[in-house]
Each structure stands twice: as structure tokens, then as C-alpha cells.
A and B are shown apart, each in its own frame.
Chain A
Amino acid sequence: MSEKALEKKVLKNRPVNGLLMSIKRNIGILVGLAILCTIISINSPVFLTTKNIMNVLRQISANLFVACGMTIILIAGGIDLSVGSTIAVIGVAAASFLDMGLPVPLTVLACLALGAFVGFINGFIISRTKITPFIVTLSMANVLRGLAYVYTGATTIRINDRGYINIGTGFLGPVPLPAIYIVVVLIIVYLILNKSRLGRHIYAIGGNEKAARFSGIDVKKVRLLIYIFSGLMAAVASITLSARSYSGNPTAGEGAEMDAIAAVVLGGISMAGGNGHISGTIIGALIIGVINNGLNLMGIHSFWQMILKGIIILVAVYADYMKNAKSNKASEA
């Protein structure tokens, strides 16, 4: 009995969600990131300058928005392959809204609403039918990409509105604005996953959907909400991207879903659902951003970058898998 009491005491003194825990949880990938940064900074003196670091932050923000939505969806046991195409559609829509003379705040609102609507359609189909999220969002991806091409005739629509462009290119002191938005979004995602009932429900559904239903969780509603959130995140990413590129482009966001999934998976979140933390996604996105930026600085061709990126992701996830397999074996007895 006293032993049990002692164990509980030890337990209570341990910070469960603290910074220390998330460092401990992500130690492997953090070490990887540190090694990566060291190698790049030795090869390129520019890497560690404030200007470049801010640059990296801005570059990863778009991926991180999408990855935030993807994190929640993967934890709930789903997937969203339509985010890349959503980025294209919304970028094109933003450019045409501005062309029509819609004021910037209304354009932004309309884009956010459009993103949420795309997510709603995804979530609605997924929660009402038995079609898997993979198929539903893959189909949606095709439809949206096609729409973007049809509407623009495969051309780019220029954006000239300074106010809108400033959303993606502006600074607050030395910090690029998208980096500030992403901090706000990350805090929201953290609060949802770690502090809200909805968060518990998301983990429950990803862990065992049937048991979640038997526990009185409204699985359909939660599904709907998370896909809406993912669409919303794609819209935010699209707004910052189109502002930065001064254009609405039907090819924008190609492969964005894969970069987001890579970041999430690098962060140790299982594709099987029920597990993972947003801190992992942040580090995952950082790694991808640092690889892109560092290889650019080192003058490595972008084709080679793709190859290296693929290999690094595979190795990192395999290492994570081995770690889990080890700890599973230990607890099996």
C-alpha cells in the first residue's frame, strides 16, 4: 500500500505537459535538428544570421499552417489530401476578389469562409458515408485543382493591392507577419489538443472510434469540425502565400499536403491515429524548413534537395518506429 502511495506521489510531482516533457519526448528529432543546423552553419556563414533565420520562419509558416490542421486530423485517425488544391483555389479566388474591387478585409474573410466550406464538404461526406478520408479528400483535391485551372484558363492572376500583399510580406519589427500568425495558430491548436474537451474527443476517436462512440462522443460532429479547421488552415496558408507571390496561381500548393504530412510524421505522430503532440509538428516543420533553406544556401540543386528530403524523412521515421517497437516490446510482458 505504501509503495502504491509512493508511486502516486512521484507521479504527481512530474510535470505532465511541461516544456521538459516535450523536449524529452522529441529528443531524437531535436538532436537531428541540431546536427543538421551545425552541418549547414559550418558550410554556410549566412545560415545563422538573424535575417536568414527570419526568412526560414517565414518559409516554414505556410507549411506549418497546413501541418497544424493535418496534425489534428491525423491524431483523429483521418487524413486530408485536399489542402494543396485548396491553397490553389483560394489563392485564385483572392486574386479575383481583389480584381473585382472587394476590400482587403472582406477578401480575407471570404477566403477563410471558402476554406472552411471546402473542409465542411470533406467532413460532411466523411462523417455521413463510409468512404474513407483518403478517397474523399483525394477526389476533392482533383476537383479543386481542376476548378482552379478551369477558372483561370491555367494562367496566373496578378495581385496589385499593397494592403493585401503586406499581409504576407510585412514585418513587425524584425519578425515577419506570417511568423506571428503561426504563433497564434499554434497556441490555439495547443489549447484545443491539450486543454479542451474537444481535444480529448479527438484523441479518443483516433485511438478507438467505436469506443469513442460508445462513450457518448459525437463522432460525426468532431469529424466535421476538424476538417473545417483543416480547410481554414489551408486558407490561411493560401492567403500568406498568394500575398507573398503577388498572385493567384492555379499551380500553387502543389505537394503541400505531402510536406505537411512529412512534418507531422517527422514530429512522431502516428499515421494510425490516437497519438502525437503539436510540439512534434513544430520541430518536424523546422527540420523540413532548415533542410530546404540550408541546401539552398549550400548551392545544392533543388532536384537533389527532393532526393535528400525523401531519404531524411524515411530515416527519421524509421528511427522513431524502432524506438517505439523497443518500448512496446518492453511493455508487452
Chain B
Amino acid sequence: MPDKTPLLELKDIHKKFPGVYALQGVSFDLYPGEVHALLGENGAGKSTLVKIMSGIYAKDQGEIVINGKPVQITNANEALENGLSVIHQELVLVPHLSIAENLFLGREPQLKNGLVDFQSMSEQTSRFLKEFGLNLNPDAEVASLTIAQQQMVEVVKAISFNARIIAMDEPTSSLTDKEVDSLFSHIRDLAARGIGIIYISHRMSELFEIADRVTVLRDGKYIGTRNVKETTADELITMTVGRPISKYYNRTYNTNQEAILKVKDLSSRKVKNVNFELRKGEILGFSGLVGAGRSETMHAIMGIDKITGGTLEFEGKPVHVKNTEQMIDYGFSMVPEDRKDEGIFPFQTLKFNLTLKTIKEFINFIFVRNSKEDEIADRYMDELSIKAPNLQTVMNSLSGGNQQKVVISSWLATNPKVLILDEPTRGIDVGTKSEIYEIMNELARNGVSIIMISSDMPEILNLSDRVVVMCEGTTTAVLDHSEATQEKILQYAVKI
């Protein structure tokens, strides 16, 4: 590729924030038609780099070169003018406007009388959508589209701005496998048209499927760039983490234990006739498509959704679920799926977050035992090696991986007998992932029964003692570790 001029070159970029040297001389280049992945743990500097090239942050030092010409990008508009578009992890479409209105937001075509020319807007949008092979109505409200479709609308929007460079930040984090396949075919389309793609993802397997080259960042430093064809997952992991991770999935399987929880014909407004048993000290994987009712099953068990039928038996005694507090008292804990929305208290301190579930242990009426509270917080800071300046750090300023560790810790502090983990490693870097796996393995060995909902197939296959498969709100199979394969799980997940 060196014979061509790169679309984009970032040379020796530096960026300092108060207290953090976020980028220390990072270089990066992108050729036409190339998919170049950015890899690194949370906090490695990927997002900062993308924000600098899209004009959200100003660089302290370094050079941005587009098509061989040095450019200054100081705001989002200048980035667009230079053909650079970013598709952020959180979608920024306006949900209650139509696709066409979103596409032309701020540059609506006008009639002579100054009103918006909705017809021309629809027609142009329709052309863009067709060109991209999307069968969508330009007048459809964005909120009515699936996440995957919304993402494609963002891509189309970028194209409509004549973007030559598109950066995608974790585009697959909330997509199903099928949607990922379709996204990838669109990405290949874009590349074939000579557009350069910057692809940020934590999922190693995706990089090998879609990327041509990978650049690794660690702690704000440039570590190296590899051709995907000439590297291995192990090498990339070592580069991102800074040390080799010998056994990624380290699991002592546990068989033949008595059942601690029996769920029979459990139904709620969202699930029906759910049946499974959880054994002491096992990891029970829950697999299925998005929307199969896995999280909803757990919400019913935890007393968040009302149970409308069926029975629960815990440690040999029937349990009538009244509310979440009661289930926590029984020894149930649940780390929810959506960390930001359901897990953390973003503007509270780390200590508040760590100890909220255990305040009974140190607050009686109006008497607070500060020493006990500190003891709980300190213990989990150490045990789960949470990286934060101190216990007064505001939760929001931690990286996603550390936030997840805090949420898990806050539940571990309640000494759960049953720990439900809903997508425990979503959006988390490999280093933290392997730490979380280790914690799970250790907990199971100490007799804690773990339910793990996961859409990450390797995770399900490698960590679970048994796998429960769900489809359309009901359980369709329970597979032993030895018999569980991707094909078999998928077969039960889509129902024959």
C-alpha cells in the first residue's frame, strides 16, 4: 500500500489533560479502501485520538495530514469539511425525527418561500438509502428502527456528507450476530469505494474478520501497527495488555453438585414457562438471541418484574418473591446488563457505589461506623484491583472496566450465594476481562453459584459448566459443558 498517498496521517500527536498525559506521541495512518483497527484497553487513548481528529479536542502538539496536505481541525464542522466523520458508540440521531430529517438536520433543503422542502428531502434520502442497499422508508421515525438500522442510518448520513474517512467507535457492542454480519458487508462495500475506515472494537475475533491493519495503543503511547494477516490474537493481546495472558479462560469445571435453586414454569409479563436448576458452585451460562428473555427471567427472579406463575425453590424451601430487597437477603445478587443505566451511580463517589448494598452493616439508625465502611471499600479496591486515585473519586471518571469491577464488588460485599452476571464483560478490554473471568472461577470454587448471561459465544462455551438456552421467552435446552457447541446452542436459540 505505501505506493498510494494516505487518506489520513496523524503524526506524533500529544494531548495532556490536567493530571493525565492522554496521548504521548501517537502516530496513525489510513489508506483509501482500508479498514484500520485501533486496539487498546479502556483509557489507552483511542477515544481521545478520535476526538482530536474529529475536532472535539484540540491537540497540544503534532500534525494532522489529509490527502498529503496538513490541515487544522478545530471543530466538528471542519472535520466534516475535510471528509472526516465519526460514528460514536452512543448514537446521536434525534429519535423522534424521521430518517430524512436526521440526514438533513441543520442543512434542510428549502422552498422559495423559506419552508422546508420535505419532498426533495425524502427523495434524496431515499436515493442515499437505496444506493446503500437499505430497504427503509425515509419518512420512518428513527426511534422505530433497530439499533443496527440506526447505525446504518448514521453511516448513510456520513456518506451524504461525502465522508472519505469514517471512524466507528465500538459499532457492534449492541448488535446481534446477524446484524454484525450485515454491518461488515456494508463496511466492505465502503472500503471497496475507496473510503477509509477506522474501526474501534474490543472484540478480537472481529478484527481478524474485518480489519486490514491494527494499531495498538497502551497508556496513551503508540505500541505498534501490524498487518492482520501477519499477526495472532496472542500477539495483539500481549501488545494491548503489556504482558502475555497465559490462559485467557482459566476454569476448573464443577460437576455433580446438588441443586441450590430450582425454577419451575416461571412466568412473568415477558417470559413464560422458564425451567432450570442452578447447582452449588457452578457457572450456569445463559445463551440466546437478544430479546430471548434472559435478562427478563433474572428480573423476575430478583423481584424487579412481577412473577405471574411458576415456583422458585431455594435451598430446598419454596420462595415467594416479593421484592428485590428480600431476594438480596436470601443471598441473591445481580450485576445488571446496562452498567451505565442500571448499575452505577455516576455522580457519586467510588465509596458510595462500593458500599451502597451493604449499608446495613455499618449504618444503624443514625450511627455510622466509618471504619467498617472504609474496611469494606478498601477490601474490594484491593481484591479486585480497582484502579482509581482514591475512594472519593467520582464514579463517572473511571474507565468502563473499573466501573464494572466496582459494580461487581458492591454485590460481592453482600456475600451472595447466587450471583447473576448479565453480560459481565460487555465493552470491557481484554485485560479486565481476564481478571473478571478469574474472579468468577474463584467464586465458583468457593461455592458461589453463578448465572452468567452472555452474548459472547466463546465466553459461554469456555466458562459455563452448563448452558441454558432461551428462545422467545422460554427455556429450550440445558446443555452440559461437554456437549455444548456453538451449532447446538444456535439451533436451540432460533427454535426449529
Contacts and interface: CB of A to CB of B under 8 A. Distances in A.
Interface of A: 7-8, 10-12, 16, 191, 195-197, 200, 203-204, 207-208, 210-218, 274-275, 329-333
Interface residues of B, number: 45
Contact of A332 (B342, B367, B370, B397): B397
Interface in B321-352: 323-325, 327-328, 334, 336, 341-348, 352
Interface string B383-422: 0000001111010110000000000001000000000000
B392 A11 contact: yes
Contacts of B347: 207, 274-275
Interface of B: 17-20, 22, 48, 302, 304, 323-325, 327-328, 334, 336, 341-348, 352, 356-357, 359-360, 363, 365-368, 370, 374, 378, 381, 389-392, 394, 396-397, 410
A196 B391 CA distance: 20
Given A214-B342, A274-B345, A7 B325 contact: no
Task: Select the residue from B352, B356, B396 with max chain A CB neighbours within 10 A.
Answer: B356
Contacts of A218: 323, 325
A19 B40 CA distance: 44
A211 B394 contact: no
A214 B336 contact: yes
Contacts of B19: 330, 333
Given A196-B366, A200-B363, A331-B394, A211 B18 contact: no
A200 B353 CA distance: 10
A332 B17 contact: yes
Contacts of A196: 363, 365-366
Contact of B17 (A7, A195, A333): A333
Given A208-B346, A210-B342, A214-B324, A197 B359 contact: yes
B363 A216 contact: no
Nearest to B45: A333
Contacts of A274: 345, 347-348
Given A7-B389, A333-B22, A214 B334 contact: yes
Contacts of B324: 213-217
A50 B324 CA distance: 54
A11 B328 CA distance: 31
Given A195-B366, A195-B367, A200-B359, A207 B17 contact: no
> 8 closest pairs, A vs B, by CB?
A333-B17, A207-B345, A331-B397, A216-B324, A216-B325, A195-B366, A333-B20, A330-B18
B304 A213 contact: yes
B155 to A, nearest CB: 27
Contact of A200 (B304, B323, B352): B352
A207 B341 CA distance: 11
Contacts of B389: 7
Given A204-B345, A213-B324, 8 more contacts: A8-B391, A214-B304, A214-B336, A215-B324, A330-B17, A330-B18, A331-B394, A331-B397
Given A207-B347, A218-B325, A197 B360 contact: yes
B397 A211 contact: no
A12 B304 contact: no
A333 to B, nearest CB: 3
Contact of A208 (B48, B325, B328, B345): B345
Given A332-B17, A333-B17, A211 B345 contact: yes
Contacts, number: 95
A274 B349 CA distance: 11
Nearest to A272: B347
Nearest to B370: A16
Nearest to B396: A331
A204 B355 CA distance: 11
Contacts of A204: 345, 348, 352, 356
Nearest to A10: B390
B363 A195 contact: yes
23 contacts: A10-B390, A12-B374, A16-B370, A195-B363, A195-B367, A195-B368, A197-B363, A203-B345, A207-B345, A208-B341, A208-B344, A211-B345, A213-B324, A214-B302, A215-B356, A215-B410, A216-B324, A274-B345, A274-B347, A274-B348, A330-B17, A331-B397, A332-B17
A208 B396 CA distance: 12
B264 to A, nearest CB: 24
A329 B365 CA distance: 38
Contacts of B366: 191, 195-196
Contacts of B304: 213-214
A203 B357 contact: no
Contacts of A208: 341-342, 344-346
Nearest to A195: B366
B365 A200 contact: no
B468 to A, nearest CB: 22
A138 to B, nearest CB: 24
B392 A216 contact: no
Given A11-B392, A204-B356, A211 B17 contact: no
B321 to A, nearest CB: 12
Contacts of B390: 7-8, 10-11
A211 B334 CA distance: 11
B70 to A, nearest CB: 26
A217 B326 CA distance: 10
Contacts of A200: 352, 356, 359, 363
Given A197-B363, A208-B346, A274-B345, A216 B352 contact: no
Contact of B378 (A8, A191, A331): A8
A197 B348 CA distance: 15
A203 B352 contact: yes
A216 B357 contact: yes
Contact of B348 (A8, A203, A332): A203
Contacts of B365: 196
Most buried by B among A211, A216, A329: A216
Contacts of B368: 195
B327 A216 contact: yes
A117 to B, nearest CB: 26
Nearest to B15: A333
B294 to A, nearest CB: 16
Nearest to A270: B347
Indicate the member of A10, A217, A331 with the most B CB atoms within 10 Å: A331
A259 to B, nearest CB: 26
Contacts of B328: 216
Nearest to B391: A11
A208 B48 CA distance: 27
A8 B347 CA distance: 21
A207 B352 CA distance: 11
A74 to B, nearest CB: 14
Contacts of B410: 215
Contacts of A332: 17, 397
Nearest to B355: A200
